[in-house]
Structure 1
């Protein structure tokens, strides 16, 4: 029955029309007294509306065998016919009712409203009504005798501390807090009952079940006085991908496929998103929507793709006086050329002042898709050395160095705070040198390399740890017998490498960096495998490759501060704060190395290098990812490089298009 408040101030025009029968009833069929038909949304006293009502009445009378003795059902047919005719006649807001379908309210002087409707029925004892009825005046004061709770719908999630037993224990503990004992039932109102369900929901949410909900279904409490609590864990139903253009949607959805049918946990969804974010050229976010079935949640993955091809151009002075002090670089990255998360990278490095070295690289990687984080990589690198200027020009020293590799890599743990990756590669490397058409060396090795890397976010002490381990072993030495460069090298060498970086955040604008890199071996190595000391990634107070040793280590301590004194001030670059654009640094570097063969020109088998310096980093992420870095350092050990100033400066500049 429709109930309408007839308030004149609302501007509703009502037509009260008495539809009279043409003749008195002539049969003994039970009839209903002729009612008034009330119409809203029409002009008051409209003749057109009167005609519509009369026509509807005649139609029903005709259908009733011309009998004007209409029952309740026939009068409802009249009203339905009136409503249909009003809509066709151009009265979209009009509606007709029988007078007994409308409640009349009178506004009392005190402001209270009296309704001429039946009062709500009294709440039944021991009945937990639907949620919509629990907040009524009658429901608010109702109490139910409860001797305990029964929790249903809980899955087995032991790692998260969520099991049927643990949730039942939680409900029992909440019941005890409300005064319930085994001896006598507790009289609880709806709010107290709901608090127990809320406690279960809260436990789920803290365990990472972000949509799980415990609720009190409508029920009649039995003689055992046990109240049932149901849990909807929010199991994943459909997985839908939106926004994918170059990528196949199933590639984006693949990391989440194993979650289908499982209770939705934040950690699992985050892991799936992290695997997707490792895909080149795309970022992925997620949202949720109710599933088709009760208790299901659909996962919506929204992909935002970048341009498939990017070009990075740069210049630096990371060369040497022999190979060329300055270098121009160009790198092209083609993201997802097949739409499956693959990547093709091509790079070229051109040295000048003097021009005596050219370097090129080609790398292609592709994921397996079905196993998140597992992929295959293959590539090649080649550099050409030709000394045609300087003191060695007369010797016409030249020769290529090349490297071919292929392998598999697997990020087997990928959480927000922890990731671990391992890889296995087969490498063929070759380096040869000739002088005046005389072969100085032709070194060729097949090498196997096993890598492990880890990244860990230390939320307790506000830091970031990065660790890398690698073991390289020569499987086959195909070098030429005559080797004037490394005549005593070990053919089946084994090398272990270790790298560690700790970034300690000291507030919002300061960081402390600790770096360590080293390698250890008991074998005499060729230059391709030796530890490099000196350069922008080593002791910065010395030129690149100032020393090559079989084993050694490098360590550095750096202090970074973002835009000191004006970190939070807006910059002229899109208003970004200066702390996002400019960093200053001070650093100390130290390295130590030694040769396994025991030979050293100065008779000392161990060498040490140290230096200190200052630097700056300037970046514009929103303008072609501009990066400019400048470091200057001086030696601290009194050692001087012949023909060089004490101050060593390294700089680089990059733009990405």
Structure 2
């Protein structure tokens, strides 16, 4: 019968352990993927080409292990396997044992606020996939911490704790993770005067969202406008004004698909035009892919992100006069305007406890798809069609004044266009969000730039938290059309004023601003005409 071949063992007199000293001619490395052999060789080059003792050889091994640890590969190291050598002409092989975190070694548990076990709403794969993406092929503790911190930024996660402990074999680690989730359900009602007075400024709106619909981190949001027209002539909106939004992360890198639909119905209710039965309906559909290029945390910023997005949409506006199609704006044909914008966006975010900086750039290209309106479609086109190029830039800086809870907020935005734009794609200036003290959409032009500076000063606290803030501000905006030959005095508007922000708890907030507009447009039929803007929100959960 055949016998197993004997296991090869180093000859006792030629093993490293048996040598009093060796002449080290060269070193070789196996198992190393983090560092190249040349990088490792540089660390121990002082030992090569001379006679060294076993203690010095061990020092070389420790030095190589410390290189891994210094680069935050704390579960990796280098060993010196026993091997046959020629003591007078030795070529020694070091073996890298690079630590890894295997998927089965991530032990995930859902907990509540008291750290008691609780079933997770998020799928386990959603969390573990993102942890593994940060762990990498070779476990780096800094990258793992960074990934866990990024995971904590997820809207569905309130708290995440992780403990790394050694496994049963060299290089193996076990990660114990406990996750406390936020409630995925949100619902509220809002009352504000964020609409132009011509179509009824005051609106009641219901809004709700599920931030984790299926356990995959997908979010569904709905906003529904209850009323339209003036409050003293209440009319239910029916299904005329609502919006739906859905987003789905596609992978562990958070490539996200975003889908949205919005319908707006805006009958003119302001005298004397209310007698003409003027209506305007707009439908907007968009599909967008968003891809973070990098997301990380640093010592200076708790969160940094650069992302790009690409979206295609379809927007259609239909206007009527006395029940018949009528073109009110250049580019409309038979009372209808259609545009198919292709949007390419870039977004940069920096955020920590004292500062938040964001910049968003969007290139908008009108393309000839989905029956987009062309200037040749009709004489009524007016030289404006749906093929255009425009750029929209938005910047915001929020700074918490050191050693206080005061905030300084600066915002600016601008749009440039290469040609006259359809009304659906023009820039609106005026209102609560863009130059207070004037009507919503006071100026609607092809190109514009706006800026606001606001200082938020807490004046009332409860339990150490600010619940009432004063907010003095100054706003300014300039807008003009591409083919406007001579600027007029209505192209520039500015204001200064003060606001009150009341937020006694997480469920209710009230905001009111008074802005003194330095230009008078002579209208006095609405609160916006006396420079008052307000927003009340109640969100029970």
The answer to whether TM tops 0.5 is yes
- Give the Cα–Cα distance (whole angstroms) in 2 for the partners of residues 299 and 641 of structure 1: 67
Judge conservation of contact 1:284–1:301 (CA < 8 Å) in 2. no
Aligned match for 1:207, one of 44, 68, 71: 71
For the 8 Å contact 2:304–2:351, the answer to whether it is kept is no
TM-superposed CA distance for 1:531, in Å, is: 0.8
1:478 and 1:261 map into 2 onto residues whose CA distance is 47
> Quick one: structure 1 residues 456 and 393, their matched pair in 2 at CA, closer, same or farther if it must change by over 3 Å?
closer
Q: Does 1:470 align with 2:362?
A: yes
- Cα pair 2:43 2:63 within 8 Å, conserved: no
1:262 aligns with 2:137: yes
| Residues 1:604 and 2:488 are matched in the alignment | yes
- Alignment correspondent of 1:655: 538
Q: Is the aligned partner of 1:376 residue 2:251?
A: no
CA gap 1:152/1:382 in 2 versus in 1, 3 angstroms = same
Contact 1:376/1:408 (<8 A) preserved: yes
How far the C-alpha of 1:521 sits from its partner, in A, is 0.8
Residues 67-117 of structure 1 deviation map (CA, whole Å, 9 limit, x = unaligned): xxxxxxxxxxxxxxxxxxxxxxxxxxxxxxxxxxxxxxxxxxxxxxxxxxx
Report the Cα offset of residue 560 of structure 1: 3.6
1:458 Cα shift? 7.5
The aligned residue for residue 506 of structure 1 is: 401
User: In the alignment, what sits opposite 1:578?
Assistant: 465
Indicate the residue corresponding to 2:474 in structure 1.
Answer: 588
Measured in 2, the distance between the counterparts of 1:516 and 1:314 equals: 26
Aligned to 2:218, which of 342, 358, 364? Answer: 342
The alignment partner of 2:143 has SS state of helix
Structure 1 residues 589-613: Cα deviation after superposition (integer angstroms, max 9, x where no partner): 221111123278xx72871111222
Separation (CA, whole Å) in 2 of partners of 1:650 and 1:247: 40
The match for 2:109 is: 242
Aligned to 1:526: 422
Give 1:362's aligned residue: 244
Q: 1:253 aligns with which of 101, 107, 128?
A: 128
Paired position in structure 1 for 2:347: 454
If asked which structure has higher relative contact order (CA below 8 Å, sep 6+), I would say 2
Deviations 1:183-217 (A, max 9, x none): 8979999xxx899948964x6555343x3365888
Give the Cα separation in 2 of the matches to 1:218 and 1:494: 66
Mapped to 1, the partners of 2:351 and 2:45 lie a distance apart of: 37
Q: CA deviation at 1:299?
A: 3.3
Question: Which residue matches 2:320?
Answer: 434
Q: Kindly state the Cα deviation for residue 172 of structure 1 after the two structures are TM-superposed.
A: 7.0
**CA offsets, 1:135-176, max 9 Å, x none?**
xxxxxxxxx99999989788444xxxx655555655678x9x
CA shift in 2, pair 1:195/1:501, >3 Å: farther
**Out of 444, 448, 451, which is 1:552 matched to?**
448
Q: Check whether the contact 1:445–1:474 (CA below 8 A) recurs between aligned residues.
A: no
- In structure 1, distance between residues paired with 2:408 and 2:22: 60
Residue from 305, 311, 314 that aligns with 2:181: 305
CA contact (8 A) 2:373 2:385 kept: no
2:417 & 2:242 partners in 1: Cα distance? 29
TM-score (norm 2): 0.75
Please list the CA deviations of residues 581-635 of structure 1 after superposition, one character each: whole Å capped at 9, or x if unmatched. 55443322221111123278xx728711112222343445xx4443333332212
- The verdict on how the C-alpha distance between 1:598 and 1:259 changes in structure 2, with shifts beyond 3 A counting, is closer
Query: Which residue in 2 is equivalent to 1:119?
Result: none
Q: Secondary structure at the match of 1:386?
A: coil
- 1:542 and 1:641 in contact (8 A); partners too: no
* Per-residue deviation, 1:453: 3.1
Q: Which runs of 5+ in 1 are unaligned?
A: 1-126, 129-143, 176-180
The TM-score, its normalising length taken from structure 1, stands at: 0.63
1:628 aligns with 2:510: yes
Deviation sequence 1:33-88 (CA, Å, 0-9, x none):
xxxxxxxxxxxxxxxxxxxxxxxxxxxxxxxxxxxxxxxxxxxxxxxxxxxxxxxx
Cα contact 2:365–2:390 (8 A) shared by 1: yes
2:331 match: none
Counterparts of 1:294 and 1:449 in 2: how far apart (Å)? 53
Aligned to 2:338: 445
For 2:241, what is the secondary structure of its paired residue?
strand
Deviation at 1:475, TM superposition (A): 1.9
Closer, same or farther: CA 236–386 of 1 in aligned 2, 3 Å: same
User: C-alpha distance in 1, partners of 2:70/2:456?
Assistant: 36
Residues in 2 aligned to 1:627 and 1:152: alpha-carbon distance in whole angstroms: 64
Closer, same or farther in 2 for the Cα pair 1:489/1:469, shift >3 Å?
Answer: same
Larger Rg: 1
User: What do residues 315-336 of structure 1 show as CA deviations (whole Å, max 9, x unaligned)?
Assistant: 2221232222322221111233
Show CA shifts across 1:427-456 (max 9, x none): 111111112123213333242322323334
Aligned residue among 387, 412, 419 for 1:516: 412
1:406 maps to 2:284: no
- What is the rounded CA distance, in whole Å, between the counterparts of 1:186 and 1:229 in structure 2? 16
Q: Does 1:493 align with 2:493?
A: no
3-state DSSP of counterpart to 2:305? strand
Mapped to 2, the partners of 1:345 and 1:274 lie a distance apart of 26
The aligned length equals: 485
Distance (whole Å) between structure 2 residues aligned to residue 625 and residue 266 of structure 1: 39
- Cα distance, 1:381 vs structure 2: 0.6
2:237 corresponds to 1:353: no
Matched residue of 2:491: which SS?
A: strand
Aligned equivalents of 2:490, 2:514: Cα separation in 1:
26
